[in-house]
Chains A and B, each alone.
Chain A
Amino acid sequence: MKLKYASIAALLAAALASPTALAQKTIKIGNINPYSGPASAYGSIGKSISAYWKMVNDQGGVNGRKVELISYDDGYSPPKTVEMARRLVEQDQVLLVFQSLGTPPNSAIHKYMNAKKVPQLFVATGATKWNDPKHFPWTMGWQPNYQTEGRIYAEHILKNNPKAKIGILYQNDDYGKDYLKGFRDGLGAKASSMIVKEVSYEVTDPTVDSQMVQLQASGADTFFNITTPKFAAQAIRKAYDSGWKPTHYLNNVSVSIASVLKPAGLEKSIGLISTAYLKDPNDPQWKNDPAVKEWQAFVDKYLPGANLPPAFTSYGMAVSQTLHQVLKQCGNDLSRANVMKQAANLKNFRPELLLPGIRINTSGGDFAPIESEQLARFDGEKWERFGPIIGK
């Protein structure tokens, strides 16, 4: 009897004596992703991230510690995101929340995360508001923001075709409107005279054919296409089939060859202009690129048969590699404050899936990791990059 109590006491003492050691054996990361609901296509990103950290654990973890990724579904519904964020922070006691997806979901937890002083790192949205270290020191984006991209297209049009008549198709939500704002800002005073037609669509619309007819009828000779993959494919195909051949700018969100251009028809996509910051794994020019080969090995081993869109798995890998770097830089100080400090201390870091010449830089006043992209034109087979790397 006494021995039993003694041993229990000893175990308890051992457990209590080294709380920090025990607690820091695993690093807990939280993630919120839409595995269901209207945005369930993006659930693939959550799956890719989970697979990546499994690979990291198989390779020994980070600085000898295993990483536990806890991912919850919010169905792209902000109330659910709030609930899941609270669960991650208050119940699961995660170190940080990583790659939460979507602007409304992230907006819903923005204040909460900063009030609780929990890092909201590398959010999966291109909205501009995540780069605000003065008011929201615990939130940081990752991908080049939508407004910057819109501006790049606007500047390209102003330079190459100042008399252009522009038609715009945009998704009627935060993402679409953010692109629109950047584009209009880039055109400046000439916006109202150059934009001859601006039409929106809802995610619940079956097709955008009617909108395309409106755009073609407006006489526009330049087309800015702000759509997500399914609708982008429809729009590209409809434009071609209707005999409308504008200078066609496609947003980066739908730049994937496998998910958008192939369904639309590769011949129908010739001449499309977009920006890129990641290598498209299906682009033949990267066939022998070591980073793409590494990605292929990762997908083959950790996502076999899952058939996830390459655009999402490569994105998931690159952003996870960035967090990996941050955690490595933290060393043995795994406090939330240090995580944030190291996230704001990335110097010329390159996940190799990024296009050559693009690097990640952050600082106390700069919470935008990737700020450069390059214009590219689709030639029927690959995205041919042209021009300089724009941005920092």
Chain B
Amino acid sequence: MSRRQIIVIAVVLLAACALPFVVSNYRTFQFTLALVYAIALLGLNMLTGYNGQISLGHGAFYAIGAYTTAILMDQYGVPYWATIPVAAAVCLVAGFLFGLPALRLEGLYLALATFALAVSLPALLKYHHLEHWTGGVQGIVILKPDPPFDLPINADQWLYFFTLAVTLLMFVLAWNILRGRMGRAMVAIRDQHVAAEAMGVHTAMVKSMTFGVSAMYTGVAGALGAIAIQFVAPDSFNIFVSIVFLVGIVIGGIASISGAIYGALFIQFVPNIADAISKAAPWAIFGIFLLGFVYLSPMGVAGAVRMAVVRLTRKAQNQAAKP
């Protein structure tokens, strides 16, 4: 990583840490949700952006993570921080198990399979034989965690820092994975499936593992989201969640880690802006925003940022090279 990149990351981190003390509790809550979406989008991006497996169903893993946390906290009294690794493990396995039979499906067919998963999950959550665990249509209410060790901050701020810490951990982990052998294998499979196989990449294993890891990320996001909202219900996790995630990674930037952050900010804040512009047809405004972003930068915000940086550096180099 270049020195400039390290400086940028340090500045962003510093700003992120200062945020809860500068803005209201409500805004801190919104940014906590944005961080949650960033983790979810990073997961989806790993699968769809880096590995080329399209998923219209990541809302399902988000729901599984959320319900894992809710059930553990509500029925078994597990402390909130302990539910996160459990949610991660459950979704890792679930994603892997889904990825295995999905190996035979490509493109549209995989899209349908994931679509089916997302549509079926709320039905499963409402299923009356499982009501005892899932709370059925009424959902489950959970309590907001208090700051530990009597720290002089309030619950919202504590939750923000907790989420921020998890986000950092997940991002560093992702950066490592994508930089290493696994990451190169993922991209190779995306770009030249047959050639990758011919070169000795164990495509079946890599693809299934990617599914698992991607699901794990989204599951962790779901768990954190459940803790922030303090409520889970089957109708919170409809197909629209999956579609919004897909929109998020495209707007943020496919195959880009920073894209997850841009995308998360977009899906958290732009609907509110659209709502403010028009009460009558808010989603029409949102759709227009989508079109605008895609037209201006088909490679997403991350792509636009990258191009801007390149152009600026080139200008600086040209200036320096002038006699």
Contact = CB atoms under 8 A, between A and B. Distances in A.
Partners in one complex: yes
B30 A83 contact: yes
A82 B33 CA distance: 11
Contact of A173 (B33, B137, B229): B137
A77 B233 CA distance: 9
Interface stretch (B21-29, B81-89, B300-308): B21-29
Interface in B190-236: 225, 229-231, 233, 235-236
Interface stretch (B92-100, B174-182, B275-283, B291-299): B275-283
A18 B126 CA distance: 54
A192 B29 CA distance: 47
A309 to B, nearest CB: 16
B233 A78 contact: yes
A90 B29 CA distance: 11
A36 B282 CA distance: 7
Contacts of B162: none
Contacts of A108: 139, 229-231, 233
B141 interface: yes
A76 B26 CA distance: 20
Nearest to B284: A36
A202 B141 contact: no
Given A73-B275, A83-B30, A172-B126, A177 B136 contact: yes
Interface string B1-35: 00000000000000000000000111001100100
B230 A82 contact: yes
Contact of A90 (B24, B225, B231): B24
Given A90-B26, A110-B141, A172-B126, A79 B225 contact: yes
Contact of A104 (B25, B225, B236): B236
B229 A78 contact: yes
A86 interface: yes
Interface residues of A, number: 30
B26 A104 contact: no
Nearest to B29: A86
A374 interface: no
Interface string A18-54: 0000000000000000011110000000000000000
A91 B139 CA distance: 27
B282 A73 contact: yes
Contacts of B230: 82, 108, 111-112
A104 B136 contact: no
B109 interface: no
Contacts of B168: none
Contacts of A71: 279
B138 interface: yes
B279 A104 contact: no
B136 A111 contact: no
A183 interface: no
A78 B66 CA distance: 13
Interface in B230-284: 230-231, 233, 235-236, 238, 240, 275, 279-280, 282-283
Contact of A82 (B25, B123, B229): B229
A367 interface: no
Contact of A36 (B126, B136, B138, B283): B283
A107 B231 contact: yes
A190 interface: no
Contacts of A111: 141, 230
Interface string B123-150: 1001000000000111101000000000
A172 B137 contact: yes
A174 B136 CA distance: 9
Interface in A63-100: 71-73, 76-79, 82-83, 86-87, 90-91
B279 A107 contact: no
Nearest to A175: B137
Contacts of A36: 282-283
A79 B236 contact: yes
Contacts of B25: 86, 90
Contacts of A107: 138-139, 141, 231, 233
Given A38-B238, A107-B139, A172-B126, A78 B26 contact: no
A92 to B, nearest CB: 10
Contacts of B137: 104, 172-174, 177
Nearest to A72: B275
Nearest to A306: B280
Contacts of B139: 78, 104, 107-108
A197 B188 CA distance: 55
Contacts of B280: 35
A136 B231 CA distance: 17
Given A86-B29, A172-B126, A174-B137, A79 B235 contact: no
A78 B235 contact: yes
Contacts of A86: 25-26, 29
A173 B29 contact: no
B282 A104 contact: no
A87 B188 CA distance: 46
A72 B273 CA distance: 11
A38 B33 CA distance: 23
Contacts of B136: 177
* Residue of A73, A76, A112, A202 with most chain B CB atoms under a 10 A cut-off: A73
Contacts of B275: 35, 72-73
A342 B141 CA distance: 29
A204 B115 CA distance: 14
A87 B26 contact: yes
Interface in A99-117: 103-104, 107-108, 110-112
Contact of B279 (A35, A77, A90): A35
27 contacts: A35-B275, A35-B282, A71-B279, A72-B275, A73-B279, A73-B282, A79-B225, A79-B229, A79-B231, A79-B236, A82-B230, A82-B231, A83-B33, A86-B25, A86-B26, A91-B26, A104-B233, A104-B235, A107-B138, A108-B139, A108-B230, A108-B231, A108-B233, A110-B141, A111-B141, A173-B235, A174-B137
Interface of A: 35-38, 71-73, 76-79, 82-83, 86-87, 90-91, 103-104, 107-108, 110-112, 172-174, 177, 202, 204
Given A86-B25, A107-B138, A173-B235, 16 more contacts: A35-B282, A71-B279, A76-B235, A77-B235, A78-B236, A86-B26, A86-B29, A87-B26, A103-B138, A104-B137, A104-B233, A107-B141, A108-B229, A108-B233, A172-B126, A173-B126
Query: Which 8 pairs from chain A and chain B are nearest by CB?
Result: A108-B231, A90-B26, A104-B233, A174-B137, A79-B229, A86-B26, A36-B283, A78-B236
